[in-house]
Structure 1
């Protein structure tokens, strides 16, 4: 990203964070106007299309992309669900990671552009994503499937797997969670103090209007339902879970809770925590160890 683009991005981000001053319907309307003023898309950019064959597909409720490396192919599939706080479309870094994964494993990337707030909510998004999930598992062996997501997409990777299990559907071989946006609730005193410290370090989620967007996102769902609080969902019968989280990410607090729970319940998992790591740090090209682990999970090592 060049200097001009960075400055423009900061201006837009500042405008978005100013919505924090609004409440209720005013916040919802302000968010709608912001998105109209700054239209977004999850479609892959030209530089991605140079390296990948892209096919746009449609299911009820939205579109998704099927992407393969132009040179390397295998039977592996990755359902990648991008983050964005349930409000933003995919960023270039999401497609950059997917391009590298396809290049190094030959996997086919299934990349949904799912419904967001304020136009939709958790129910609408899950309904659409389950349709994509059906396409993801079609004509494939479980051993060749990986479901992966970052931030908000990480919660989807977990909740979709739970819904698929409950419905008797085929499950992926591995779930990969990158800085999952798990729900922050019922913090103890130690966690509250740590949250205040992290907010000073976390320039992404620490200043994000989480509570206001969450209220729009949950809609009519019960607050303890897996689609709204996946961190408390039943882990029995789920595939092994690999999770990455950084200590300078406010979402590290619920990530640690989930990691402790996975260990306590004896669920097969890998938990990687980076000291000083920010939200979504594992998406960065510099996170070589984390990337190598992702590759190994896709190819089934």
Structure 2
């Protein structure tokens, strides 16, 4: 059963943030307001306990959280925000929690966002970040993690790297990713009614502002239509009250059919990017992420409340041991 706090958060979202996605005009108004208040810098409380440095790539800042001594692994974290909103303190708190619990280095690009910039500028910047990362770190030690739009970007960036013959990351962690923006799935319209946050009209406007005129069914915009076989071992977290979940489950099926080692956390009663919020369900989700990124030897099964997490073979049969797609 969803926690009391999750019900409170859902109520607040429905009567506040969902308005941003109720129409193109509302989204534009929320963007204009956000530009007056957004601040991409890590909160002071994080700076006081983590070693954080800043550099610039393509004119945009990149924050680096130093790993613990002797740790080689690094996470490239791509934040969400419908391609039009900046990183938030909620993202930073999740990032800090991962840094504390895993000890990995974490790279956080503050990539250009729409409508001031578009797809080409975004991937020009994050592509340059990744090239610099694998020049410093073995690709085997690099993990892509992203929420919402950032989850989309993680998948597309891997596909672009494969197309260019570049080294690929070892794992993906995708939190409520937006993997198909074509709106071809009729289940999305029913899901919208149950979603306390996202709306189709505002989401369509965000994609228009971001996509530089590229067709929504192009894999660069909707990676569910791309070559999923190039993807690494993947953990996908999605909630039953998220507009994006029907397409996320289709993506998982297609990825598994393409030979990808993919695990799905489908949390009942949860809304978009719930692992960013401090509540019991988020803590379970974060535990799943930590287990996934520190479990090197085989599959696992875990259940907590109504959460289920398992690795399955291509035919859907749970297995105790599944060889990784790539080490």
Query: Which residue of structure 2 aligns with residue 240 of structure 1?
Result: 233
Query: Which residue of structure 2 aligns with residue 83 of structure 1?
Result: 80
Q: Distance in 1 between matches of 2:24 and 2:71?
A: 49
Query: Which residue of structure 2 aligns with residue 148 of structure 1?
Result: 145
In the superposition, relative to structure 1, how do residues 228 and 82 fare at CA in structure 2: closer, same or farther (>3 Å)?
same
- Three-state SS of the structure 2 residue aligned to 1:253 is helix
Query: Which residue of structure 2 aligns with residue 268 of structure 1?
Result: 261
Does structure 1 residue 20 correspond to structure 2 residue 23? yes
Farther off after superposition, 280-289 or 80-89: 280-289
Q: CA RMSD in A?
A: 2.7
Query: Which residue of structure 1 aligns with residue 202 of structure 2?
Result: 209
Correspondent of 1:124 among 102, 121, 146: 121
Farther off after superposition, 60-69 or 140-149: 60-69
Q: Distance in 2 between matches of 1:207 and 1:31?
A: 16
- Contact 1:73/1:105, CA 8 A, preserved across alignment: no
In the superposition, relative to structure 1, how do residues 199 and 110 fare at CA in structure 2: closer, same or farther (>3 Å)?
same
In the superposition, relative to structure 1, how do residues 262 and 33 fare at CA in structure 2: closer, same or farther (>3 Å)?
closer
Deviation at 1:208, TM superposition (A): 6.6
Q: Give TM-score scaled by structure 1 length.
A: 0.84
Q: How does 1:92-111 map to 2 (within 5 A)?
A: 92-111=89-108
Query: Which residue of structure 2 aligns with residue 289 of structure 1?
Result: 284
Query: Which residue of structure 2 aligns with residue 48 of structure 1?
Result: 46
Q: Distance in 2 between matches of 1:56 and 1:188?
A: 41
Query: Which residue of structure 1 aligns with residue 271 of structure 2?
Result: 278
Deviation at 1:241, TM superposition (A): 1.4
Q: Distance in 2 between matches of 1:15 and 1:236?
A: 35
- Three-state SS of the structure 2 residue aligned to 1:124 is helix
Farther off after superposition, 247-256 or 178-187: 178-187
Size of the aligned set, in residue pairs, is: 283
Does structure 1 residue 173 correspond to structure 2 residue 164? no
Query: Gaps spanning 5+ residues in structure 2: where?
Result: 1-8, 297-327
Query: Gaps spanning 5+ residues in structure 1: where?
Result: 1-5
Q: How does 1:154-193 map to 2 (within 5 A)?
A: 154-185=151-182, 187=184, 189=186, 191=187
Moved over 4 A (4+): 12-16
